[in-house]
A and B are shown apart, each in its own frame.
Chain A
Amino acid sequence: MALGAWLPTALLITVAVLTVTPVAVALLAGFRDAPPGRPGAISWASIQASFGVMAQPEVWQVLWTTVWLSTVRAVLALALAVLLAWIIARTDCPFGNQLEFLLILSFFFPLLGKVLGWALLLSPQKGYLNQLLRQLPFFAGDTGPLDVFSYGGLIFVSVTGWATLLTIFLVPAFRNMDAALEESARMCGASPRRTITRILVPLLRPAILAAFILSLTRLLSSFETEVFLGTSSGIYVLTNKIYERMVQIFPPDFRTGMTMAVMLLVITFALVLVNWKFLGRRDYTTVSGRGYSARPMALGKLRWVAFGFVVLFFFVSVVLPAVMLIQVSFIRFIGLSVTDPSSYTLDNWRRMLTLRVNRLALTNSLVMSVVATTLGMLLYSIVSYVVTRSRYKGRRLLDLAAWVPWAVPSLILGLGILWTVLLSPLAVLYGTLTVMILAHIVRGFPFGTQIMGSSMIQISRELEEAARVHHGTWTSTFRRIWLPLVKNGFVAGWVIQFTVSFSDLATVAFLYGAKSTVLPTLFLSQWSNGRLEEAAVAALMMTAVVLAVVVLVRRLVQGNVRTPTVA
């Protein structure tokens, strides 16, 4: 199917404008002498002032915290994920498939829900788990022993979340590895542990390294955990410090905020460059779970330990916080007695479902996510088509443009889009759902084009040509051959994009307005307003809607919606 040259060129320009402009604006705005929307200019003095910010020791303190905290979390999450993926993919651990399903399920449990759930379980004084622990003889005192609003708590909650994602990412890689290599190592007398460290780890190094850089990049730009668990206890990394400087203090210190945003951008871009250098850009090799008849490693009695470990992980990362959220969502006020029936109420749920502002947030979330995801996936499909199938000369450039947001933390992407909008004729869109939809579309480019590219590269050109030769017109070829073949990739991508759009706070934190509140911003407002009971309802609503949509979509298309790699 030949495309005229102007069409892909128009596409290239569109994509480049969408992805590069917010980044460029965010970078430039860091050197401006006034906040966006106010008159100002970039001058020598304002540039000096921005560099002056970097002279503050506090900035370097925050940077250092960001780096070590992200590294520690990435390492721990990776170690946990390698263990989990190995148990699921390479051992005779009982109910392996069901365990994998549990992990995929936990992927759909929004991070915000996890954060609130653990905040309720491990708040130092009233945390239910802490109260239980204090019943034990060796914990004295009226507080603790654990505190979720601390480095430990932050690391713990982040790690459980990231390990889930990384496990899903690593399981296919583990599964596709040739078991013969592993077995021959065992035959040569290597113990299971030596087999893992000497054979498995080196073999899987590319996948593991990719997973590590992936999680490091994302953890550097992680926002939700930090703003909810870090800020109140004075733990600042770049993201929540940027948010604090720009939003939470008065008067806002936009210069420090923007300078830090630029620093964060530089770091994430550098990491992406490292990734390209050592692991190649991106390859479309599909990591499918196709049945490799790899013989699992026999663990003997230990297999039940392994089973218990995975179940425990699921329990900790999903069940405990979810149960906590459900309980709190029915309680009148958290301080009230848990055993007294009069402490319980349906009011929180009633409010969620009847109050205009809450209903608005729910419908807005749905509209925003469905529209952004659908439009986005269509756009990503067209881009992927041009990149993988056409002979268009600029297709590498197009691929690159679609890849740019990968290196941009969502919070800064939102900021860049806010400023772009405010500084352009698009200002009429300020505070509308349209801007948020735009932001999610831009955010989704790397993942969307990755998943669509992977599924398109699998469709050989001859499948299309066979239809054309056998009396199929262009349109019916597209409809009857092309669409059904990319459908699974499209649906899987749609579900994941939807999940992220629906529950992501960072992208929209700077963008929402009076009539464009969505569930994550409602959650933010409820949390900071001290209405944790209703925040729990909002988090559960997010979970319920995401799960319902996943189930519905699966049923509708009856395709096998596996969660593919998030790379």
Chain B
Amino acid sequence: MGTVRATRLVKTFGPVVAVNDLSLEAKAGEFLTLLGPSGCGKTTTLRLIAGLEKPDRGEIHVGDRLVSSPGAGLFVPPEQRGMGMVFQSYAIWPHMTVFENVAFPLEELRRPRAEVRERVMTILATVGLGGMHARPAPMLSGGQQQRVALARALVSNPQVLLLDEPLSNLDARLREEMRFELRDMQARLGITSIFVTHDQAEAMTLSDRIIVMSGGRIEQEGSPEAVYQRPSTRFVMDFLGRANQLPARVEKRPDGWIAVVDGHGSELALGEGDWADKQEVLLAFRPEGVEACAAERDGAWIGVVRSSVYVGGRVEYVVDLGGFTVRATGPEDPRLPCDARAALRVSPRAVRVWPRDPEQTGTNGGPAR
């Protein structure tokens, strides 16, 4: 009940392969996010699950029920899949009132009139639209439309809730607010949700699990922390937030492998690993993984502050490290002035090392130890 399982889905539009051999599973009650840049196939995947597109290959199960299997010639139309969906544009029907919009799914399920009324009123109260039921749809603000769309998606107690970038059309403050409400509601109802977004902050805050997609394939899946902290590919690392990247060369030392930053000489211990001597690599780490503090003289991991921004509680620095730009963070006090020397303390756990050979980019990467 409530699980969604997709196996080896393929969907092409003409020459474009939108979804390429993709398998995923959303567990019952889970909040699963499909994250990726536009064109990565995340929305198409969602539409395949909803039944708004027919896959070329692969199977989709909802619970134990097979709903889509081109091989078996099976395709359950969207209205029979028992899902709720919130669209990017909300898709509130402009010729109906709030009540009529929300009542539609129940009416289509041929529920008795009294039940329809009661359930619509209840769900409207739940989404915070109590008393607005008679209002014509075009007379709603963006946030209210969003709530109507949510109410409509939830009113028939679907097993699965699909959300297609529902927050992208809201202004920043409202987006934040809705984010928490959405999470709260989902947790209360325990409904399996699949959420599509390109905004990593939304994905981080809402999800139980994140699937990062690119080019119609899954790049990585895991908990928000795991995906953020331990990206398995350069793409994931780049996409999930700003990352510093320093070119380096691996050298064999008696106590293990180290990486030497090109042209600068700063070193980083890699510990044991499957490296080759003189192998060119890229050191990648997030600004949070680098602490900047005052330094008296030049040397390894010492650069010059170019600019700084106060981000509340901490300061973000842009540091010039031997010609490379490194973003780092530091305490708000003392704040380093511009052109001051800054010592960068890189936590080896935070650094990901990838071979620089472009053909191997994104694979074979591993954490520094």
Contact = CB atoms under 8 A, between A and B. Distances in A.
A476 B78 CA distance: 13
Given A462-B88, A476-B108, A480-B104, A469 B93 contact: no
Contacts of A472: 79, 104-105, 108
Interface in B87-117: 87-89, 91, 93-95, 104-105, 108-109
B201 interface: no
A392 to B, nearest CB: 14
B79 A471 contact: yes
Contacts of B149: 466
Counting from the closest, the 4 A-B pairs by CB-CB distance are A466-B91, A470-B105, A462-B91, A471-B108
Contacts of B109: 471
Given A460-B91, A462-B87, A468 B52 contact: yes
B152 interface: yes
Contacts of A468: 51-52, 77-79
B89 A469 contact: no
Interface in A454-482: 460, 462-463, 465-474, 476, 480-481
Given A470-B152, A476-B108, A485-B95, 10 more contacts: A460-B91, A463-B93, A465-B50, A465-B85, A466-B149, A470-B156, A471-B105, A472-B79, A473-B79, A480-B104
Interface in A423-481: 460, 462-463, 465-474, 476, 480-481
Contacts of A2: 54
A469 B84 contact: yes
A474 B52 CA distance: 12
B93 A470 contact: no
A472 B94 CA distance: 17
A161 to B, nearest CB: 35
Contacts of B80: 471
B4 to A, nearest CB: 14
Contacts of A471: 79-80, 104-105, 108-109, 156
A202 interface: no
6 contacts: A468-B79, A469-B79, A470-B104, A471-B109, A472-B104, A473-B77
A472 B85 CA distance: 13
A252 interface: no
A273 B153 CA distance: 49
B32 interface: no
Interface residues of B, number: 28
A480 B153 CA distance: 17
Most chain-A Cβ atoms within 10 A of its Cβ — which of B81, B93, B109, B152?
A: B93
Contact of B79 (A460, A463, A470): A470
A389 to B, nearest CB: 14
A128 B84 CA distance: 72
Majority DSSP secondary structure for residues of A touching B: helix
Interface string B65-88: 000000000000111110111011
Interface of A: 2, 460, 462-463, 465-474, 476, 480-481, 484-485
B89 A470 contact: no
A463 B88 CA distance: 11
B162 interface: yes
A470 B84 contact: yes
A236 B317 CA distance: 84
A465 B152 contact: no
Given A470-B152, A473-B79, A481-B93, A465 B108 contact: no
A101 B105 CA distance: 41
A467 B104 contact: yes
Nearest to B50: A469
Contacts of B51: 468-469
Contacts of B83: 469
Contacts of B84: 469-470
B111 to A, nearest CB: 10
B240 to A, nearest CB: 28
A466 B79 contact: no
Contact of B108 (A460, A473, A484, A485): A473
A462 B51 CA distance: 13
Contacts of A485: 93-95
B104 to A, nearest CB: 6
B149 to A, nearest CB: 8
A474 B51 CA distance: 13
Contacts of B88: 462
B95 A465 contact: no
Nearest to B86: A466
A462 B89 contact: yes
A470 B108 contact: yes
Nearest to A487: B95
A469 B156 contact: no
B142 to A, nearest CB: 15
Interface in B117-162: 149, 152-153, 156, 162
Contacts of B54: 2
Nearest to A468: B78
Contact of A470 (B77, B94, B153): B153
Most chain-B Cβ atoms within 10 A of its Cβ — which of A460, A469, A471, A480?
A: A469
A480 B95 CA distance: 10
Interface string B46-70: 0000111010000000000000000
A465 B91 contact: yes
B46 to A, nearest CB: 11
Interface in B314-339: none
Contacts of A460: 89, 91
A466 B152 contact: yes
A2 B77 CA distance: 12
B50 to A, nearest CB: 5
Nearest to B162: A469
Nearest to A477: B79
Contacts of A476: 108
Contacts of B94: 485
Contacts of B156: 470-471
Nearest to A470: B105
Nearest to B153: A470
A463 B52 CA distance: 12
Contacts of A462: 87-89, 91
Interface string B145-182: 00001001100100000100000000000000000000
Contacts of B105: 470-472
Nearest to A462: B91
A484 B95 CA distance: 7
Contacts of B91: 460, 462-463, 465-466
B78 A465 contact: yes
Nearest to A476: B108
A221 B323 CA distance: 75
A289 to B, nearest CB: 16
Contacts of B108: 470-473, 476
A465 B94 CA distance: 14
Nearest to B149: A466
Contacts of A466: 85, 87, 91, 93, 149, 152
A474 B105 CA distance: 14
Most chain-B Cβ atoms within 10 A of its Cβ — which of A466, A467, A468?
A: A466
A471 B84 CA distance: 9
A54 B184 CA distance: 82
A481 B93 CA distance: 7
A469 B91 CA distance: 12
Nearest to B164: A462
Nearest to B89: A462
Contacts of B93: 463, 466-467, 481, 485
A463 B95 CA distance: 11
Interface string B289-306: 000000000000000000
Contacts of B95: 484-485
A561 to B, nearest CB: 15
